[in-house]
Amino acid sequence: MSSRLYLYPIWLRLWHIVNALFFLVLIATGISMQYSNPDAPFIAFDQAVKWHNLSGIIVSLNYLIFLAGTLFTGNGKYYVVKCKGLFDELKKQVIYYVYGTFKGQPTPFPVNKTRKFNPLQKLTYVLTMFGLVPLIIVSGLALLFPETIVENVFGLSGIYLTALLHGTVGFLLSMFLVIHIYFATMGTTALSNFKSMATGWHEPH
Ligand code: HEM
């Protein structure tokens, strides 16, 4: 049995809880603005706009904490993806998720001091945190200040294209969240990863 590891420093836990809560507000208000019937909205339209804007600003500022913490503290090392051998590592992890875990086999990439994430988790986090999240922030800020958006792109409205990008990335991030929470239950016990995010300590296998 490995010993307990302190993997989630306080700044990371604070970033994560603020991010998670306001992401939920963004998804609820975003879905309400996108799909609900204006006569019977899920959330009153003006309220949805107000809360979406406020939460978007909070998530954007909060992202700077993640960025600084990950670039300038030891947390960054967990996000380094090496191309060499990546495909084989991903294959191993996928086989574990679709087969091994249901047979009670041990995880192929156990957590240790130098490896907080399995290869699939790492790649997903990198694409999400350094790809999708910056994209949704930049497109969201552009929509908040629409005068900054080019008017016409090959005959299509720049605002329309920005909104399309923002909505598409919002959908992908919502999918990420569902999958993220599902996989977060696959720790040592169903709740151990959630406890780790509350206390900072990884529960050993
Ligand atoms: C209700 C919402 C959420 C819950 C319950 C949740 C749960 C968790 C848990 C249990 C962990 C620790 C396990 C692990 O290391 O993977 C974690 C880590 C993480 N979560 Fe979430 N999460 C939520 C929302 C989000 C959102 C919206 C994002 C990003 C858009 C996100 C990004 C991350 C990242 C990047 C980590 C790893 C942080 C690090 O250790 O460097 N989470 N989450």
Ligand 1 atom with the smallest distance to the CA of 75 is 41
Ligand 1 centroid–CA 49 distance in Å is: 26
Instruction: Give me the pLDDT at residue 41, please.
Output: 83
Ligand 1 atom with the smallest distance to the CA of 184 is 10
φ/ψ of 139, rounded to 5, equals: -70, -35
Question: Taking CA 77 as the corner, what is the angle to CA 10 and CA 16, rounded to the nearest 5 degrees?
Answer: 30
Phi/psi class of residue 202: alpha, beta or left (left: φ > 0; alpha: ψ in -120 to 50)?
beta
Q: Which of 80, 197, 202 to mutate to test the pocket of ligand 1 (most atoms within 8 A of CB)?
A: 197
Sketch the domain layout of the chain as residue ranges. 5-202
Residues paired with residue 153 on neighbouring β-strands, in sequence order: 156
Ligand 1 atom with the smallest distance to the CA of 196 is 12
All residue ranges of the chain with pLDDT < 70 are 1-2, 205
Class of the 5-202 domain? mainly alpha
CB distance 27 to ligand 1 below 6 Å = no
Q: What is the pLDDT of residues 165-203, one digit of tens each?
A: 999 999 999 999 999 999 999 988 999 999 999 999 998
Residue 20 DSSP label: H
Angle between helices 10-35 and 192-199 (to 10 degrees): 120
Residue 5 is inside which H or E element, if any? strand 5-6
Q: Name the pTM for this structure.
A: 0.94
Instruction: Give me the pLDDT at residue 48, please.
Output: 96
Tokens standing for residue 160: 């329309």
